[in-house]
């Protein structure tokens, strides 16, 4: 068994659902300060691992937005966003990095995961696409064939030169020209609709040729109003801002005034509708057919 297969088997034993390997060359377009070699000089390979989110956890978002049971979504905050999946990934990344250094002469550096980050590192979503695990959805979240956007990712940088996996070239998972679910369900209209603005483009290259991905512009200020619950109508305790067009400075000040929850100084899990309602990843079978969600009219057909 080659080292690559041993790493993937190690990831599986740690409870990971996904594992892919990218050569560092696929990160040539990374912004200055976010390239793998900025964090690990001599990095040759980036291993990305992923864990699916529990259907029973994701469905609490429906209980909030469809049933008005706002407290239910705290389960998603704990087990789908802030704590459980990120610790799961953290331990798996650490275990795989230890395995590589104990078995080889290579250096291995686990990257930070999710809201547990204490500083900026490489982009985990770009690492996941580079490793062939899926493609970008229009809302800029990574989609995988089996789980849609309902995944969380971690990464390990290493100086080991590993055999890379090919980029994902399967059936197209997101077609924003036909599907506008994410932009429609977004409560603050934070996602630009297809054709409204020039799409953001990311280009990768592998042995199969050039891969180009496009996704929407995200108004982070509007997104934070919903995800942080900065207004009552979006799950907040009070209106910390009064307009969706609040300035970035007003958003920052409002965020500082939100009470801490758990390990987060400011909760960031209070929306998640684009992730929950995206049809990719057998949404109908998992949620509609089980009676967990009343499908929105825009989603019929």
User: What pLDDT, in 10s, does the model give residues 33-66?
Assistant: 899 999 999 999 999 999 999 999 999 999 999 9
**What global pTM score does this model have?**
0.93
Residue 297 lies in a domain: no
Residue 298 lies in a domain: no
Residue 292 lies in a domain: no
Residue 289 lies in a domain: no
pLDDT band for position 29 (cuts 50, 70, 90): confident
Residue 193's Cβ-count burial label (10 Å; 0-12, 13-18, 19+) is: middle
Query: Rounded to an integer, what distance in angstroms lies between the CA atom of residue 253 and that of residue 180?
Result: 32
- Per the structure, the count of domains in the chain is 1
Residue 148 token pair: 């849609």
For residue range 93-146, list pLDDT tens digits in order: 999 999 999 999 999 999 988 666 666 679 999 999 999 999 999 999 999 999
Output the pLDDT for position 207. Answer: 86
For the chain, give the number of residues. 301
Residue 293 lies in a domain: no
Q: What percent of the chain has pLDDT over 90?
A: 81
Residue 106 lies in a domain: yes
Residue 222 lies in a domain: yes
220 has a pLDDT exceeding 50: yes
Q: What angle do CA 49, 270, 195 make, to 5 degrees?
A: 75
Domain of residue 8, residue span: 3-282
Residue 204 lies in a domain: yes
For residue range 163-180, list pLDDT tens digits in order: 999 999 999 999 999 999
Buried b (16+ CB within 10 A) or exposed e, 68-80: eeeebbbbbbbbb
């Amino acid at each position: 068994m080659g080292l690559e297969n041993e790493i993937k088997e190690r990831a599986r034993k740690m409870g990971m659902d996904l594992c892919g390997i990218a050569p560092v060359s696929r990160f040539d377009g990374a912004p200055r300060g976010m390239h793998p070699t900025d964090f690990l000089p001599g990095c040759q390979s980036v291993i990305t691992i992923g864990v699916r989110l529990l259907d029973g956890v994701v469905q609490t978002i429906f209980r909030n937005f469809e049933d008005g049971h706002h407290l239910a979504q705290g389960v998603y905050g704990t087990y789908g966003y802030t704590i459980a999946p990120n610790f799961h990934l953290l331990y798996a990344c650490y275990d795989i990095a230890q395995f590589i250094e104990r078995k080889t002469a290579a250096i291995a550096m686990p990257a930070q995961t999710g809201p547990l980050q204490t500083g900026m590192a490489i982009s985990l979503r770009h690492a996941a696409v580079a490793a062939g695990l899926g493609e970008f959805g229009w809302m800029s979240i990574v989609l995988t064939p089996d789980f849609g956007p309902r995944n969380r990712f971690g990464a390990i940088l290493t100086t080991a030169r590993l055999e890379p996996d090919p980029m994902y070239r399967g059936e197209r998972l997101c077609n924003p020209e036909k599907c506008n679910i994410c932009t429609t369900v977004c409560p603050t209209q934070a996602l630009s609709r297809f054709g409204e603005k020039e799409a953001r483009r990311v280009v990768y290259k592998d042995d199969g040729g050039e891969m180009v991905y496009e996704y929407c512009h995200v108004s982070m200020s509007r997104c934070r109003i919903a995800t942080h619950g900065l207004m009552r109508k979006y799950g907040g305790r009070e209106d910390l801002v009064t307009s969706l067009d609040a300035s970035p400075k007003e958003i920052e000040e409002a965020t500082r005034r939100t009470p801490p929850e758990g390990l987060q100084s400011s909760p960031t899990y209070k929306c998640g509708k684009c992730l929950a309602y995206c049809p990719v990843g057998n949404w109908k079978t998992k949620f509609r057919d089980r009676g967990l969600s009343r499908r929105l009219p825009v989603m019929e057909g």
